[in-house]
Chains A and B, each alone.
Chain A
Amino acid sequence: MNAAPIITIRGLHRKFGDIEAVHDLNLEVARGEIFGLVGPDGAGKTTTLRITCGLMHATAGEVRVAGHDVRAEVGAVKDRIGYMAQKFGLYGDLTVGENLRFYADLFGIDKQQRDTLTPQLLEMTRMSPFVDRHAAKLSGGMKQKLALMCTLLHRPEVLFLDEPTNGVDPVSRRDFWAILYQLVHEGMTVFVTTAYLDEAERCDRVGLLHKGRLILLDSPARLKNSLPLACFEVRGDDLRSYREALRRAANVEDVELAGSSIHAFAPQGTEEAAIQAIVPGARVRRILPSLEDVFIATVRREENRAA
């Protein structure tokens, strides 16, 4: 991160009436980075994204994108960014080709450039066979790809994606991320919000937003090691009674169900044997926490502190 950051957010506040959607947000995103903004619904992800794209004004604070202030030079910013809204608006009664052409013309792309770029994009997204199909008749994954193409037509420097793979099947999601990696490889910066933590793992850096505050910010690998708690996986036949026992235990800070096992969090340095002693019948194993564990534990601690 030696080059100047492409996105700089300083002291960002946004209020909706009395509700503070974003509180004192500070963030920098480097050129060529995939940055993921993660958080539960209502944490302020979409608001932050909209302000950064110049769609909404901040109550206070400064946002610069690609060297321009989003408030003062919104036109310059819009020329350099692509934005894909949560519910991307495609014209269902226009074909794939017509949707592309419409957005290309709105961005003022000349005909020659459009005619070389469109086949490239269709190729990259493997959408060439569907160019004459009405957008309404595409599958969820294909709609997503078309939306992405529409935002890429003017070759933006930064791509903003608001929960791009919501409601898209896992295979299409993987395809979608493969395209994003390719774009980043070509030099684009990607700023994505998501509620899926497996997607967050794919980012270079993630920020966790909780009630409008950025409470974590680092690479996924470092975040997993940053938790000041040890994580133990507890498996066995009687999960319910294990959970009760663990909750009552004084040296266990938090207990979470994780599918067919339980994750118990205890202060660093706690031995497996100490946990085993609480639940004698179970299989106990110390594990590296997942991003999900880190986020849930952090959110929980944040809530306890507030209470």
Chain B
Amino acid sequence: MNPARVKEIVRKEFHQSFREPRLRAMMIVPPILQFLVFGFVVNLDVERSRLAWLDQDNTPASRELRAAFEGSTYFEVTHTPATQKALEDLLDRDAIHSGIVVPPQFGEDLARGRATSIQILVEGSNSNTASIIANYVRDVVRTFSAGQLNEWVRQKRAGRPGVIRLNAPGIDLQQRVWYNPELRSRNYFIPGVAVNIITLVTLMLTAMAIVREKEIGTMEQLMVTPIRPSELMLGKTLPFALVGLLDFSLIVALGMIVFRIPFQGSGLLLLLGAILFLFSTLGVGMFISTVSHTQQQAIMATFFFFQPAFMLSGFAFPIRNMPEIVQWITYLNPLRYFITICRGVLLKGSGLNVLWPEYLALAVFGIAIMSFSASRFRKRLD
């Protein structure tokens, strides 16, 4: 290994890639823009969901219930259809997320202390959102009926001496959510978005940079120079490793500033994870460059790797929900480990004592794919 030759390759790559302002911008601006756009998009929280209110009762009690919904931040009454059919039509046209039908006699039943019911219609094509909405509706209704019950008991006992106490037996559930107390879905998704962007950028840059040398014929020329395959590989990947680290740092910073992602853990630990992870993506990029002869083939091959790696990363779809055989496949996916590391370090402040298996897996995978690509690279030079 001759550092001077590695340095010369690195210098050439920087010359080629960073001299033109357009190319230079290409390495920084699209990843950042993508991150900003995706960051706003990956949000499954239900806020101000559109609700249609069909009041067939029209009593103070029904209006009180409506006020309870309007008072909640989760709902906004956007439509007041006159008939059941009109309500269903709104659902069909996706104008609302849910609708509530208050039947006639709702107020009268309550006043007489009888059990009564209301109907909720939820748009269920996104099952996740639908169940969240149904939960929120239940919460609002439960609070409302508890209030009604108190009121009813109070009226029954009116005039009697003594303190009014309602001692209903039951379990009071004290819920406390750790790591993401506001249950913001974005906190969960953003690390995955960052990892995916970095993966694609570094994969693509490495695969293309080496294949481009083949395409323009400089590879054959480099082979007759005294440069060693390992020097060439190092020289070609180092610049993109730096670009990857820079992009990653910018993205994490933006995640904290723009999306208020917490950073609980150690910055050095995250950096170590990123470096180990780049071993994997640069290694895979290099492998792609050994099996591709043209840049088009390299792009195709990159997506053959990237799509499944993305879907099986646990970015959005939890790995424990996957069929067992697919879960086994995910152990070969470096994205899986790095997303776990990012979530752990950013959201939970986990340290190496917890995350060491992920770091170890990344290191093993990175070194394995790097050596494998290097050996293939050497063969191609013969």
Binding site for B on A (CB under 8 A): 53-57, 75, 78-79, 81-94, 98, 102-103, 105-108, 150
Contact = CB atoms under 8 A, between A and B. Distances in A.
B32 to A, nearest CB: 24
Contact of A91 (B12, B225, B382): B12
B82 interface: no
B311 interface: no
Given A102-B12, A108-B2, A108-B4, A89 B225 contact: no
B20 A93 contact: yes
A94 B224 contact: no
Nearest to A54: B224
A90 B20 CA distance: 18
Given A87-B217, A92-B216, 8 more contacts: A57-B382, A81-B224, A83-B221, A85-B221, A89-B222, A90-B216, A98-B15, A102-B8
A106 B217 contact: no
Contact of B216 (A56, A89, A105): A89
Contacts of A106: 5, 8, 222, 225-227
Nearest to B226: A78
Given A93-B20, A108-B4, A78 B225 contact: yes
Interface in B1-50: 2, 4-5, 8, 12, 15-16, 19-20
Interface of B: 2, 4-5, 8, 12, 15-16, 19-20, 213, 216-227, 381-382
Contacts, number: 71
Contacts of B224: 53-55, 78, 81-83
B382 to A, nearest CB: 6
A87 B218 CA distance: 8
A245 to B, nearest CB: 49
Contacts of B226: 75, 78-79, 106-108
Contacts of A86: 217
Contacts of B4: 105, 108
A26 B223 CA distance: 25
A156 B224 CA distance: 12
Contacts of B20: 93
Contact of B218 (A78, A81, A89, A108): A89
B1 to A, nearest CB: 13
The DSSP consensus for interface residues of chain B is: helix
Interface centre among A93, A98, A103 (most CB of B within 10 A): A93
A106 B223 CA distance: 11
A108 B4 CA distance: 8
A188 to B, nearest CB: 16
Contacts of B16: 91, 93-94
A274 to B, nearest CB: 53
5 contacts: A57-B382, A81-B224, A86-B217, A87-B220, A108-B5
B12 A94 contact: yes
B217 A56 contact: no
Q: Which 10 A-B pairs have the closest CB atoms?
A: A89-B218, A89-B217, A87-B217, A105-B8, A83-B224, A106-B225, A89-B221, A85-B220, A93-B16, A89-B216
Contact of B220 (A55, A78, A94): A55
Nearest to B225: A106
Nearest to A93: B16
A182 to B, nearest CB: 22
A87 B224 CA distance: 14
Contacts of A150: 221
Given A78-B226, A105-B8, A56 B221 contact: no
B217 A88 contact: yes
Contacts of A91: 12, 16, 216, 218
Given A53-B224, A105-B4, A93 B19 contact: yes
Interface centre among A89, A102, A103, A106 (most CB of B within 10 A): A106
Contacts of A78: 224-226
Interface centre among A54, A90, A94, A102 (most CB of B within 10 A): A102
Contacts of A87: 216-217, 220
A108 B8 CA distance: 10
B20 to A, nearest CB: 7
A65 to B, nearest CB: 12
Nearest to A107: B225
B81 to A, nearest CB: 64
Interface centre among B216, B220, B227 (most CB of A within 10 A): B220
A82 B226 CA distance: 11
A75 B221 CA distance: 15
A105 B5 contact: yes
Nearest to A136: B216
Contacts of B12: 91, 94, 98, 102
A57 B223 CA distance: 14
A297 to B, nearest CB: 35
Nearest to A53: B224
Contact of B15 (A75, A82, A85, A94): A94
Contacts of B213: 89
B227 A89 contact: no
Nearest to B2: A108
A107 B2 CA distance: 11
B119 to A, nearest CB: 68
Contacts of A90: 216, 218
A26 B180 CA distance: 77
A102 B218 CA distance: 12
A208 to B, nearest CB: 25
A100 B346 CA distance: 48
Nearest to A79: B226
A98 B15 CA distance: 9
Nearest to A92: B216
Contact of B223 (A55, A82, A93, A103): A55
A276 to B, nearest CB: 53
Nearest to A82: B224
Nearest to B218: A89
A93 B19 CA distance: 9
Contacts of B221: 83-85, 88-89, 150
